Amino acid sequence: MSPFPPQAPLRVRTVFISDVHLGFNGCRAGFLLDFLRRVECETLYLVGDIIDLWSLERSFYWPQQHNDVVRTVLAKARDGTRVVYVPGNHDRAFRDYDGWVLGNVEIRREALHQVADGRRFLVLHGDEFDSVIRASPLLESLGNGAYGFVLQLNRWFNDVRQRFGYPYWSVAAFLKHRVRNAVGYISNFERAVAFEARRRGVDGMICGHIHRAGIAEIEGVVYCNDGDWVENCTALVEDAQGRLSLLRWTESVEVLSAGDACATGVTLGHAA
């Protein structure tokens, strides 16, 4: 059941969406178009994997609705909405344009967003944490004698980080921090994100990538994942007071998580 009147615009301060995968036939562009046409915001963050260049390379697929999504976003940018595009791994090529403004859309490798109540959130796609997460099951099976492996991983990981202009981050220290919790991929991802948020001295992190929407407070920082428009059709929105909520926008609208103070994370669907 929709908590909003059917035709009224939804007015929020900020909208975060990611993992739209335009150019991939799994994209739920119709629902997204409906959402974009109904929502009014000061700032729209596109948190990566907006255009699926990997899929387009395999086979070209670009229906009218996907074009309409692009046009709707560009129209918002033209009409005064600040649009910030933080590319992901499926649209990695756009990372080369860090700092550029194309069609009123700001392209950023990552962004810092201050919510209305003053808290600062780092906005990035989330594939930055893949290497750490893939390593963890290996590490668990290797047990204590795995230092050589960890150091090699550390070297490789930091080579990648350096390429993207990140400072050094000790994988070993991170693994030590989390290895006690033998938990699944999602939890590892959330913890990696939270660890990075603390390391960077921000109040929280807003990301996508794993196609699993959620808001959770993890060891003093707020983890927000805006989900995706392939399976879950979710958006993260900030209201005028700086509260962050998750919406699922399909034929109906559900508030999955209202206000980010909640300690219970909302999770949906599977990682992708």
Among residues 207, 201, 204, 195, the alpha carbon closest in space to that of 261 is found at: 204
Q: Which residues contact 32 (CB under 8 A, 6 or more apart)?
A: 17, 20, 69, 229, 233, 249
Contact yes or no for 17/125 (Cβ under 8 A): no
Q: Is 111 exposed, middle or buried (CB count within 10 Å of its CB: 0-12, 13-18, 19+)?
A: middle
- Assess 211 for contact with Mn ion (CB under 5 A): no
- Nearer Cβ to Mn ion (49/226): 49
- Assess 204 for contact with Mn ion (CB under 5 A): no
- Assess 88 for contact with Mn ion (CB under 5 A): yes
- Nearer Cβ to Mn ion (208/265): 208
Contact yes or no for 118/157 (Cβ under 8 A): no
Torsion of Cα atoms, 4 then 259 then 184 then 200, to 10°: 130
Using CB under 5 A, count the residues that bind Mn ion.
5
- Assess 212 for contact with Mn ion (CB under 5 A): no
- Nearer Cβ to Mn ion (87/265): 87
Q: Considering only residues 76, 95, 209, 248, which one is a binding residue for Mn ion as defined by CB under 5 A?
A: 209
Q: Considering only residues 35, 49, 221, 222, which one is a binding residue for Mn ion as defined by CB under 5 A?
A: 49
- Assess 89 for contact with Mn ion (CB under 5 A): yes
CB of 231 to Mn ion, least distance (A): 13
State the residues that interact with Mn ion by CB under 5 A: 49, 88-89, 127, 209
